[in-house]
Chains A and B, each alone.
Chain A
Amino acid sequence: NDNSETNGKNGEATYVFKLGHVTQESHVWHQTALKFGEELEKLSNGRMKLQIYPASQLGQEKDMVQQLETGSLDFGFLTNAYMSTREQSLNAWFMPFVFSNLEEAAKMRGSAVANEMLKELESQGLIGFDFIFAGNRHVLMKDGFVNSPNDVKGKKIRIIGSPVMQDFWKEIGAGPTAMPLSEVYTSLQTGVIDGVDIDLDALVTEKYYENAKYLTITNQMTFPAVVVMSKQKFDSLSLEDQEIVKKAIQAACDWGVNEAIARETKNLETLKSAGVQVHQLEQLGDFEKVAKKIQEKYANESPVIKKFLEEALQK
């Protein structure tokens, strides 16, 4: 069968694990996956290898989750945007204006409350190990910077179709527009949309700045991925092998998160040298009210989110 289990020379199990994710090979998540593969090989003395399927090669995230459940896929880096539709408490990461930069968001990764979210995934046949990040989300507009909700009132902003992002932009008074990635570039050009809610890495790769050049560094949200393993597969490993997997993931994620933070600065430099006008949102002003309202709404819905907010805002 599935080439992930054959017997090695000394009777020790050898594995070729499969990992799927949705990003391109240049993305920090793919780099993290490569790192994970290296660590696995090193820590297991070559008994464990990793085969990576980037760019949704195995299907959408809902497909990957099913493949993880049934054990035909072993690991997944799944966006928090998708996973939060299956596990409400993950919306905590999308609470607006909680982190003023990516480091602050990354600090919450090891917290007890973050682990609580991961634990809840077990009921779906998944072992949640960790969170990695793509970068914080900012706003790119065609016609000026964003200093207050007034600057985006009535403007059409492309968002990822997540409920929190929808609520947030609606509350601000903008028109949140969901549209597939492949239509965003032209839509910005022709004016179907006036701006995008985006992370810097995607902005550099997709070159949207060719059609809209006002970037406001708002840090309104962070954008993590959940690192998961098929529970079925994890349970089938020996205790020692489980430890190896955990250690390899830990090392890869530590590296990946630092790399993401470093890329945040590097990407900003790239954008500036490409002629993008960059402005830092200094005062939250009226955004604060909107943020509080959304935070309260979601905190009321989930005690985990409430705890997350208390802990994150304390810092």
Chain B
Amino acid sequence: MPRIQQTGAARPRTVAVIGALLALAAMFFGAAGAAGAAAPPAAALPAAAAQAGAAPSSLSGKTFVIGTDTTFAPFEFRDAGGELTGIDMDIIRQIAKSQGFAVEIKSLGFNAALQALSSNQVDGVIAGMSITEPRKQIYDFSDPYFESGVQMAVAKSNTEIKGYQDLRGKTVTAKTGSEGETFAKSIADQYGFAVKPLDQSATMYELVKSGNAVAVFDDYPVLAYGISQNNGLKSVTEKEKGGSYGFAVNKGRNPELLKAFNTGLAEMKSNGQYQAILDKYLKDPAKAAQSSFWDLLASSFPALLKGLGNTVLVTAISFAVAMVIGLSMGFLKISTNVLPRGIATTYVSVFRGTPLLVWAFFFYFGIPQLTGQPIDIWVAGVLTLSLNSGAYITEIVRGSIQSVDPGQLEASRSLGLGYAKSMQKVVVPQAFKIMTPSLINQLIIMLKDSSLLLVIGFAELLYQGQQIYAGNFRITETLLIVAVLYFVVIMLLTKLANVADKRFNK
């Protein structure tokens, strides 16, 4: 708050003007918005009302990037139309509206969202996140907006497990880094079971249904919602008294955003909007009708096609970049000079010797922390895929050039053509013919590897699939559709590449 006042001497007058404009605007937004912004005396929160006048002045017109989980229904999930919805989404959007700022939601996954917050890739995170002491060390939290609690669920058909005492010698699952995991681990020794943490609610439920874990510890609203959506589980214990959920910003950053959140939340609680949102998702969630596979296909197809488009586009761009890298490095690799050869060899060993995932995390989360500059997810994705593939293409190029008969270079040189000219006119055209099948292979590998970019929240095909099954819990069917889409595209691509190969490499 003091920081806001220090930022400019001309502020008070601007505040007054904007405040008046907002009050006018609020009248058009209807009673909901007006209750907080334009009618301070009526509210039982005079402090909040005073802030309401000040906060929009510094936030109005601003857009904040908010990170969230992908799979935490009913707090965040995608509806049948592929739109992000849920308690968190309704709350943050309502607050943004009442406080006069815009939000851009990035559905990254829980851990990825927190990493993005630490690296300032996002301004805030709302992801059904419990306020804990360790998290308070690195983030600034809002007032709690939800009182949660952990509950245990088992497969619907399971009649053996009725309480914690039945878990001896068994394995249970819980979400990595969640309250559920903390609670499960705190009683694991006492009841003699093991905990296997996973990243997503939907996969945890699959693990339980498949019998690889007997029970899941998850936040009760999440479990309750999943059960209502036919996720195949039932809850068997009462909820444990648990933590509170809060909205977080990076330590010391965006204090005005945090303040606006608190103000907006207080308003929502006082005018009944807050309770309406909770009731919408928890008291009476629309019970999912058992729909057919074809309904699933029809409803998920637009979102999956969008993902497929991103998959194809990121692969196309990355492959073009990888070809440039691979050709340059391939030539350095066959150089007789030690220095260029050393550069190429080092590049290949580094990128061929390390997992793609490490680089995806490094480029998207690591680089911004080193430089202080956020990085676009497309840039990070293309860097990851192209540098990885470029290493393999380097070797393909080197191998192909070296497998051209040395007599070809000698014949060209004996005619008086220089080394570069001979390579360009005689050796490389023949090397291209040799390398084409390997390049097609590399392209197909890259198309499939691009699915790994889902870890940084890149909206490619498999990621879209995850988003869909996170909401409807139909993992197997959704993955089947995803697999068929990959298969069809790769088959078409292979045919196309072979036709091109025949045409250009007669």
- Check if A and B associate: no
A-side residues, CB < 8 A to B, are none
